[in-house]
Amino acid sequence: MHRNATRTAIRTLACAAVPMLLVAGCSSDSGDKERAEPSASTSTSSAPPSPAPVKFTELPDPCKTLSKDTIKDVVPKAEESGKNLGSKDADGYGTCLWTGLDGYQHRTLTVSLKRFDSDLTLGSGAERAAEHAGRQVAAIGEDKENEKVENAPLDGVGDQATAISFETKRKNGKETVDYREQRIVAVTGNVVVVVDYEGAGLEKGGTPKAEDIREGAVKAAKDAVKVVG
């Protein structure tokens, strides 16, 4: 009787232990699965950041930024096609030059375009363009050859623009010639448009009026910004 009771007790304990083992096994498998599968938020946050999109991905030909009427009005006797000064990176930078001599009146105009892409380290294309524009404005005042430098904001040209008027003297043979000059620096999206316009009266020609030089530069800048887009 005692042996039978002992066997019965052992069988009862063994049966009771089975459910406990099964429960423990299921609990362990579930934990492993949770640890093996990353959450959706973890997968999303691991995606690398991308640069901000830019407004312009290419530039127009700088020699095609001015209308025929503007060239005729601003640079008399100049070739309409202008002179493309060339660039190894036509999508990033370009400059065109027009020069003309009408009697004793000499005029020179350049239109420069520079485009910026967004960079995770350097900033968005628009931010980089604004920084470059600031440097182009400051460069006039930093040049000791320039006199009577005056800066003023210019409305209605791109997203933001600055007009810089100044004067300088240059040698033309034995003659010292007074030049009136105007620089317009305009930002449109991620592109900077710089217009440099200058005029001088050679020999018997009188020095052009500052207002006329400013008007010509502004007219050219409006043309160029419109063509950029």
Query: Under CATH, which number does the domain 62-228 receive?
Result: 3.40.1000
Q: Write b or e for each residue in 76-113: b if 16 or more Cβ atoms lie within 10 A of its Cβ, otherwise e.
A: eebeeebeeeebeeeeebbbbbbbbeeeebbbbbbbbb
What token pair was written down for 202? Answer: 């050679």
Q: What is the full per-residue pLDDT of the chain (229 aa) written as tens digits?
A: 444 444 444 344 344 444 433 334 434 444 444 454 555 454 456 788 999 999 999 999 999 999 999 999 999 999 999 999 988 788 899 999 999 999 999 999 999 999 999 999 999 999 999 999 999 999 999 999 999 999 999 999 999 999 999 999 998 888 899 999 999 999 999 999 999 999 999 988 899 999 999 999 999 999 999 999 9
Structure confidence by residue, pLDDT tens digits, 57-89: 999 999 999 999 999 999 999 999 999 998 878
What does the pLDDT read at residue 171? 87
Residue count of the chain: 229
Query: Which residue shows structure tokens 């030089």?
Result: 213
What does the pLDDT read at residue 8? 45
What token pair was written down for 56? Answer: 């312009």
What token pair was written down for 34? Answer: 């949770």
Give the distance, in angstroms, between the CA of residue 158 and the centroid of all CA atoms in the same chain. Answer: 13
Cα separation, 187 vs 225, in Å, equals 8
DSSP at 119: B
What does the pLDDT read at residue 150? 97
What does the pLDDT read at residue 39? 52
What does the pLDDT read at residue 45? 60
Q: What is the pTM of this model?
A: 0.79
119's CB contacts (< 8 A; 6+ apart) are 51, 128
What does the pLDDT read at residue 184? 98
Rounded (to 5) percent helix, strand, coil in the chain = 40, 30, 30
Per-domain boundaries in the chain: 2-45, 62-228
What does the pLDDT read at residue 90? 81
